[in-house]
Chains A and B, each alone.
Chain A
Amino acid sequence: MRSLEDILEEYEFLEGDERYRLLIELGRELEEMPQPLKTDATLVRGCSAQVWVYPTEQDGRLHFLADSNAAITKGIVALVISAVQDRPASEVAAMDVTAALEPFELRNQLSSNRTQGIPNMIALVQEHATRILGA
């Protein structure tokens, strides 16, 4: 999986429609989340675009499977995953994911007053990391 820095470098080079195309492509490249894992239990609260997250853990590192039924949203899901994938729980818990995504200028998609899944997904990922640490 590409690092968030690599993606940002390409993203900053693009404008308008091309940025959306890149996000859609990132979504398509996301590790597949098996259909049976997309249940009410893994569904992130949100209104129109559905987002699912399933956290796993290997050797003290967090690994997430995630998906969305909306393509642009799925691209942003891929950005979040890039920021946190396969990192130790301590690092994920301490990370400011929203700040890390700020350079992508997706303010409308990330602001928590929107009834969409991304801010809730970020919160869920970090709560999971915190829970692992506390366990």
Chain B
Amino acid sequence: MTMTATISRKADFPGLLTPDGQPWHYLDSAATAQKPQAVIDAATRALGVDYATVHRGVYARSAEMTLAYEAARRRVAKFIGGQEDEIVFTRGATEAINLVSYSWGEANIAAGDRILLSTLEHHSNIVPWQLLAERKGAHIDVCPLTDDGRIDLEAAREMLTSAHKLVALAHVSNVLGSVLDVQRAAELAHAVGAKILVDGCQAVPRLPVDVVALDCDFYAFSAHKLYGPTGVGALWARADILAAMPPWQGGGAMIDKVTFARTTYAPAPQRFEAGTPAIVEAVAFGAACDYVAEIGLEAIHAHEAALVAKTREALRSMNDVTIFGPEDSAGIVSFAIDGIHPHDLGTILDEENVAIRAGHHCAQPLMDHLGVPATARASFGIYSDEEDVAALVRGIERTKRIFG
């Protein structure tokens, strides 16, 4: 049975046209998603008629904005199956991971401890751990991949020891689209007494996520890949872990009482939100969660799976194309064409109003593993459709003619 893409949401996204009104075939949603009108409207209201600070105004507008900001926290928490006091708003997933590496890491990682990552991690789930390991004299181990590009959990099981204090893995690879069995990974981590952090950036826009069912300890994601604004993201951490974590950045809003003799800190999550937060972005982040939840992640996953299948089928029919990643990649297809650098492909596709990503995708260790300096990547979203796939195929054919 051929699956068909079923969601038709293009009209909700004003960004999907070129300046002269032509369809823009945007296949770079894994880098950042376009924004639906509902999110743009929420941001406009928050920045305009509703605007005020949070958590300190004595006036009604500020009290209302505080309610809206905290409501956004509840919506984000609910979106991934967590509790509101387990959500810390951050600048993005990168800051969420850095928060864990500095706060939890400072308190829980010592010399000789080990951290397990994988070959396919994004730089933002590598570098913060390297910095922590350098500070503490800890070691990093790298879990290999299976032949079809999944994190090899059997290898992870063999590598894990009681010296491992943390396992940090991507839920969905930003290059290969491969989906991690988080439950199994969590089971393996917990079996040796390690915590598990999951980088959920590419998962939250395309898979139903329930952090309790997944049994992870930390889950990090950004709003902008989830049809929300840039500049905001979230760290979910299990309540007992978050409560025990020391402050990271100091400032206003994160304190209980300040004196020069001794300062006490606010409870989590406020303890980790120093300074005036990204109010507008957080409110719009909440609106994005609502927008996506209303469409439903099962439907979105089926929609993207159909587009992935169609794209892989078209690429497979070209005999000089290598497709990376497993058959059931979630919303992402990475590939290379013999003799054509992805950058050149991207340049010609751009002329055809097709936007793809060409590069190392901030995953240089994975590029080394694949033996290529870069790949071309097409990634899908709620608004993607078969026209976009057809335009991609036309553009690839044109490029091959030019290079022929």
Contacts of B60 in A (CB 8 A): none
CA distance A115 to B347 in the complex (A): 12
Establish whether residues A48 and B360, one from each chain, have CB atoms under 8 Å apart when the complex forms: yes
CA distance A108 to B349 in the complex (A): 12
Task: Take A21-B402, A24-B402, A48-B359 as given contacts and tell me if A69 and B347 are in contact as well, using a CB distance cutoff of 8 Å.
Answer: no
Tell me the nearest residue of chain B to A48, going by C-beta.
B359
Please tell me if A47 contacts chain B, counting CB pairs below 8 Å.
yes
Interface residues of B in 265-295 (CB under 8 A from A): none
Contacts of A50 in B (CB 8 A): 373
- Chain A 42-85 near chain B by CB (<8 Å), digits 1 or 0: 00000111100000000000000000011111000000000000
Which of A17, A21, A24, A116 touches B343 (beta carbons < 8 Å)? A116
Cβ of A124 to closest chain B Cβ, rounded Å: 19
Cβ of A105 to closest chain B Cβ, rounded Å: 11
Contacts of B402 in A (CB 8 A): 17, 20-21, 24
**Interface size, A (range):** 10 to 19
Establish whether residues B358 and A48, one from each chain, have CB atoms under 8 Å apart when the complex forms: yes
Establish whether residues B343 and A70, one from each chain, have CB atoms under 8 Å apart when the complex forms: yes
**Interface size, B (range):** 10 to 19
Establish whether residues A108 and B347, one from each chain, have CB atoms under 8 Å apart when the complex forms: yes
Establish whether residues A17 and B398, one from each chain, have CB atoms under 8 Å apart when the complex forms: yes
Task: Take A47-B359, A48-B360, A108-B350 as given contacts and tell me if A71 and B344 are in contact as well, using a CB distance cutoff of 8 Å.
Answer: yes
CA distance A86 to B347 in the complex (A): 30
Contacts of A116 in B (CB 8 A): 343
Tell me the nearest residue of chain A to B350, going by C-beta.
A108
CA distance A20 to B402 in the complex (A): 7
Contacts of B401 in A (CB 8 A): 17
Contacts of A21 in B (CB 8 A): 402
- Chain A 1-44 near chain B by CB (<8 Å), digits 1 or 0: 00000000000000001001100100000000000000000000
Contacts of A48 in B (CB 8 A): 341-343, 346, 358-360, 374
Contacts of B358 in A (CB 8 A): 48-49
Establish whether residues B343 and A73, one from each chain, have CB atoms under 8 Å apart when the complex forms: yes
CA distance A8 to B116 in the complex (A): 55
Please tell me if A90 contacts chain B, counting CB pairs below 8 Å.
no
Establish whether residues B403 and A73, one from each chain, have CB atoms under 8 Å apart when the complex forms: no
Establish whether residues A70 and B344, one from each chain, have CB atoms under 8 Å apart when the complex forms: yes
Contacts of B403 in A (CB 8 A): 24, 71
Interface residues of B in 381-404 (CB under 8 A from A): 398, 401-403
Cβ of B399 to closest chain A Cβ, rounded Å: 9
Please tell me if B3 contacts chain A, counting CB pairs below 8 Å.
no
Contacts of B398 in A (CB 8 A): 17
Please tell me if B348 contacts chain A, counting CB pairs below 8 Å.
yes
Which of A20, A49, A69 touches B348 (beta carbons < 8 Å)? A20
Establish whether residues A71 and B348, one from each chain, have CB atoms under 8 Å apart when the complex forms: no
Please tell me if B340 contacts chain A, counting CB pairs below 8 Å.
yes
- Chain A 99-134 near chain B by CB (<8 Å), digits 1 or 0: 000000000110000011000000000000000000
Contacts of A109 in B (CB 8 A): 347
CA distance A20 to B347 in the complex (A): 10
Which of A20, A47, A49, A115 touches B341 (beta carbons < 8 Å)? A49
Cβ of A112 to closest chain B Cβ, rounded Å: 16
CA distance A71 to B339 in the complex (A): 9
Contacts of B350 in A (CB 8 A): 108
Tell me the nearest residue of chain B to A75, going by C-beta.
B344
Most buried by B among A47, A71, A72, A73: A72
Tell me the nearest residue of chain A to B340, going by C-beta.
A71
Contacts of B341 in A (CB 8 A): 48-49, 69-71, 73
Contacts of B374 in A (CB 8 A): 48-49
CA distance A35 to B336 in the complex (A): 23
Cβ of A85 to closest chain B Cβ, rounded Å: 23
CA distance A99 to B379 in the complex (A): 36
Interface residues of A (CB under 8 A from B): 17, 20-21, 24, 47-50, 69-73, 108-109, 115-116
Known: A48-B346, A70-B343. 6 other contacts (CB 8 A): A48-B342, A48-B359, A48-B360, A71-B403, A73-B343, A108-B350
Interface residues of B (CB under 8 A from A): 340-344, 346-348, 350, 358-360, 373-374, 398, 401-403
Task: Name 23 A/B residue pairs within 8 A (Cβ), A-sorted.
Answer: A17-B398, A20-B402, A21-B402, A47-B360, A48-B342, A48-B374, A49-B343, A49-B358, A50-B373, A69-B373, A70-B343, A70-B344, A71-B344, A71-B403, A72-B343, A72-B344, A72-B347, A73-B341, A73-B344, A108-B347, A108-B350, A109-B347, A115-B359
The 6 closest A-B pairs by CB, nearest first: A48-B359, A70-B341, A49-B343, A70-B343, A72-B344, A48-B343
